[in-house]
Homo-oligomer: A and B are copies of this chain.
Amino acid sequence: MAAVNDVVIKIATVNGTGSASANGLLRKAIFRMGVPVVGKNFFPSNIQGLPTWYEIRVTADGYQARSNRTDLMVAMNAQTYAKDMAEVTSGGWLVYDSTWPRSQLLDREDITVLGIPFSKLCNENFDGVRTRILMKNIAYVGAIAALLDLDLEVITQLLEETFGDKKHLVASNMEAIRIGYDYATENFPCPLEASVMAMDNTKDQVIMDGNTAAALGCVYAGATVGAWYPITPSTSLMDSFRSFCAKYRVDSETDKRTYAIIQAEDELAAIGMVLGASWMGARSFTPTSGPGISLMTEFIGLAYYAEIPAVIFNVQRTGPSTGMPTRTQQADILSCAYASHGDTKHILLFPANPAECFTTAVQSFDLAERLQTPVMVLSDLDIGMNDWMVPEFEWDDEYVPDRGKVLSADDLDQMDKFYRYLDSDGDGIPYRTLPGEHPKGSFFTRGSGHNKLGGYTEDGSEYQEVVDRLLLKWETARTLVPKPEIIYSKDNKAAILTVGSGNGGCKEALDRLASKNIGLNYCRVKAFPFGEEVKGFVEKHEVIYVVEQNRDAQLKTLLMLDIEANPDKLVSLLHYNGMPLNAGFVVDSVLKEMAKACAA
């Protein structure tokens, strides 16, 4: 099935052996040749010594999801040879280190096995254990370059960019490239049928992971206080924020910082810090993942009820409990939507890729401050830690942040008396003040019963008045959150509806189904609560395939609850084994469900 500019390369190595930079070099080289790529990392939940895979999909069409093929397997890890070979798609190739013979590799006749003595070659050409290991990685890049006909100029240039002044490193790396390249060229018919051919499909595109993009969004939103507790797969979000801040938030004269990153003692403290900072008027956020959300539950309820802005990035991983920390899933939707005891509901935003992580991050602060409530950005490991090709982000230098209804000292001067929880505008959103601004602005923030004036109460009707207003605010939120992406293929009765990282696989599936003459409409929700558009879309269709990455149909659940979508027409296609979604799953499932419906 592999073809020119439509190949899936998978590299099997051991973690901690430095293969990440070699894999990145490979991915970038293809991208620089103008050919779209997708890069996915499959790594274990440990630090060193276990099998790890990097998958590069070369996709002229620019699809964003993983493919369920493996055309060219580079099996560098003896522990997983057997498994890796089994995975190669019929007609594909397997490259392995033939320094040691592997007779079991002759098992499959439907694939081509290419042995390259990487270790031997590197031992002959390089000194030092560490160098030899690193160079072996570069050497397989060289071999792949030959097999797929990559542009060596581009590779050279990338190495130069990486090592800059360190010319000797450029030289030694190029030597390793050559070793692999030459061996392949001499021993095999290069290039393979499936190769990479320069084109012009990556213009104005970048390759980035979602955590970096979200961090950049936080910088652009003007966030100043980031509190967090490390947890995979959200850690790199704060790491990136720290790097950007080191660059853009240090006063060049005084060397002083205009940001505070606080590594909290745990997630309970991290969210407490965010609430404290937001209360003071700073834009503040915390990145975390499932277990962290569970620990933040009590504070999230306080923020909801006391109406304090907060931005929480939940980079979801496979649950429940510790689950599989290095695998992806979308299974925190329900627990985030209704986090905390008592009557609560929370705004969720669902970016679908790194580009949206950037814009959604900015939006999340605007919405949190406008609505005075926690906003949770639900990304996942696939978006957060994998390499996506996305259009260059745009930034409007005229952007005016929405700080919401905050009374200034002047406003307060002109007021008789300030009451915190009055709904003066009829939109369910009260006015707030910032501590320290003005003597008249003081009020008491509390999670205990309070009335609309902000006073403590145990009076049932005063209490009820406030929680009822929160429902009105929810309706306002519905009008402010991002609208879904909707695509009509033709005016038919069936559609696919998905969320977040389901987007890539579903869109590709739409194309594939269309090629089978099945034209489905498409809706990708971007936020909870759902607005009119989602409701209208659901109502308009007779069958909606709800594609999501969890076991319990959590998105479907929200559709049923928030817009009373009729469950009879919502057909769940659930993918939750921890791997990113691929179009094949969607296509197969849709076809199966269609067949079932016909049979019934």
- By a beta-carbon cutoff of 8 Å, the part of chain A in contact with chain B is 44-45, 290-291, 293-295, 297-298, 301-302, 304-306, 318-327, 329, 331-332, 334-336, 338-345, 446-449, 458, 460-461, 463-464, 467-468, 471, 550-552, 554, 557, 560-561, 564, 566-568, 576-579
A384 to chain B, nearest CB (A): 15
A578 & B341 in contact (Cβ 8 Å cutoff): no
A301 & B321 in contact (Cβ 8 Å cutoff): yes
Q: How far is the CA of A145 from the CA of B207 in the complex (A)?
A: 84
A294-B341, A297-B335, A471-B551 known, 12 other contacts, Cβ within 8 Å: A290-B342, A298-B321, A304-B320, A304-B321, A320-B340, A323-B449, A324-B449, A324-B463, A327-B458, A343-B576, A564-B567, A564-B568
Q: How far is the CA of A323 from the CA of B446 in the complex (A)?
A: 9
Chain B hits for A344, CB < 8 A: 319-320, 335
Residue of B nearest to A293 (CB): B341
Residue of B nearest to A51 (CB): B458
Q: How many copies does the complex hold?
A: 2
Residue of B nearest to A460 (CB): B577
A305 & B291 in contact (Cβ 8 Å cutoff): no
User: A342-B329, A448-B45 are known contacts. Are A561 and B551 too (CB-CB below 8 A)?
Assistant: no
User: A448-B45, A449-B318, A576-B467 are known contacts. Are A342 and B323 too (CB-CB below 8 A)?
Assistant: yes
A21 to chain B, nearest CB (A): 24
Chain B hits for A301, CB < 8 A: 291, 294, 319-321
Chain B hits for A326, CB < 8 A: 458
Q: How far is the CA of A317 from the CA of B184 in the complex (A)?
A: 72
A381 to chain B, nearest CB (A): 13
Chain B hits for A343, CB < 8 A: 319-320, 331, 550-552, 554, 576
Chain B hits for A550, CB < 8 A: 343
Q: How far is the CA of A468 from the CA of B574 in the complex (A)?
A: 12
> Which 10 pairs across A and B sit closest by C-beta, in order of nearness?
A319-B342, A460-B577, A321-B447, A320-B342, A290-B341, A294-B298, A294-B297, A343-B551, A322-B448, A322-B447
User: A297-B297, A567-B564 are known contacts. Are A332 and B321 too (CB-CB below 8 A)?
Assistant: no
Chain B hits for A305, CB < 8 A: 319-321, 323
Among A44, A295, A335, A579, find the residue whose CB has the most chain B CB atoms closer than 10 A: A335
Chain B hits for A290, CB < 8 A: 341-342
Chain B hits for A446, CB < 8 A: 322
A446 to chain B, nearest CB (A): 7
